[in-house]
Structure 1
Amino acid sequence: MRAFRWPPPPDGGPRTWGPGPGAPRTGRPPLPDPETELVATPHGVRLERLVTGVGDPVTVFAHGLANGIATTRPFGSGVTGRRVFFQFRGHGRSDAPDGPWSYLDLARDLRAIADLSGATRAFGASLGAGALCRLLAESPHRFERLVFFLPAALDRPRGPVARARLIELLSAVESGDASAAAEVVSTELPPAVRNTPAGWAYLRQRLDHLLRDGLAAGLVDLPEQAPLPDVSVLARVTAPALVIAAEGDDLHPVEVAEQLAAVLPRATLHRYDRPGVLWTDRADLRGRIADFLNGVN
Structure 2
Amino acid sequence: MPYVVNEGARLYWREEGAGTPILLIMGLSFTHEMWFRVLPWITSRYRVILFDNRGMGRSDVPRGPYSIRQMARDARAVLDAAGVRAAHVIGASMGGMIAQEMALLCPERVLSLVLGCTTYSGVFGKWPHFGKRPRGMRWSRANRVEREDALAPLLYAAATPRERLEEDLRVRCQCSWTSRGFLNQFTGILLWNSYRRLPRIRVPTLVIHGEEDHLVPPRNGRIVASRIPGAQFQLIPQAGHILITDQPEACREVILRFLEQNGAAD
Report the TM-score when normalising by structure 1.
Answer: 0.72
- Aligned positions of 1:89-238 closer than 5 A: 89-117=54-82, 118=84, 119-154=86-121, 156-157=123-124, 177-187=143-153, 188-193=155-160, 196-209=162-175, 212-215=176-179, 216=181, 217-228=183-194, 231-238=195-202
Name the residue aligned to 1:32: none
Q: Where does structure 1 lack aligned partners over 5 or more consecutive residues?
A: 1-36, 166-170
2:4, 2:12 within 8 Å by CA — same for their partners in 1? no
Query: RMSD of the alignment, in Å?
Result: 3.0
Residue number in structure 2 paired with 1:81:
46
Q: What is the distance in 2 between the residues matched to 1:267 and 1:246?
A: 17
- What is the deviation of 1:252? 1.6
Q: How many residues get paired?
A: 249
2:34 is aligned with 1:71: yes
Identity score, percent: 22
Paired with 1:245 and 1:179, the residues of 2 have a C-alpha distance of: 26
Deviations 1:231-275, CA, capped at 9 Å, x for gaps: 232323222111102223132222221222122223111112333
Deviation at 1:104, TM superposition (A): 1.5
Match of 1:282 among 248, 255, 263: 248
CA change 1:125–1:75 in 2 (3 A) is same
Structure-2 change in CA distance of 1:49 and 1:282 (3 Å): same
Structure 2 residue ranges without an equivalent (≥5): 133-137
Does structure 1 retain, via aligned residues, the 8 Å contact 2:127–2:216?
no
- Structure of larger gyration radius: 1
1:35-74 equivalent positions in 2, closer than 5 A? 37-54=1-18, 56-74=19-37
1:259 paired with 2:223, answer: yes
User: Is the alpha carbon distance of 1:265 and 1:202 closer, same or farther for their aligned partners in structure 2, counting shifts above 3 Å?
Assistant: same
The answer (yes or no) to whether the contact 2:164–2:245 under 8 Å persists in 1 is no
Tell me which amino acid in the other structure corresponds to 2:114.
V
CA distance in 2, matches of 1:176, 1:49: 31
Deviation at 1:77, TM superposition (A): 4.3
How far apart, CA to CA, are the structure 1 residues paired with 2:127 and 2:5?
Answer: 33
CA positional deviation for 1:204: 1.7
- CA drift of 1:225 comes to 2.2
Contact 2:99 2:113 in 1 (8 A): no
Deviation of 1:94 (Å): 0.5
Native 8 Å contact 1:163 1:224 kept in 2: no
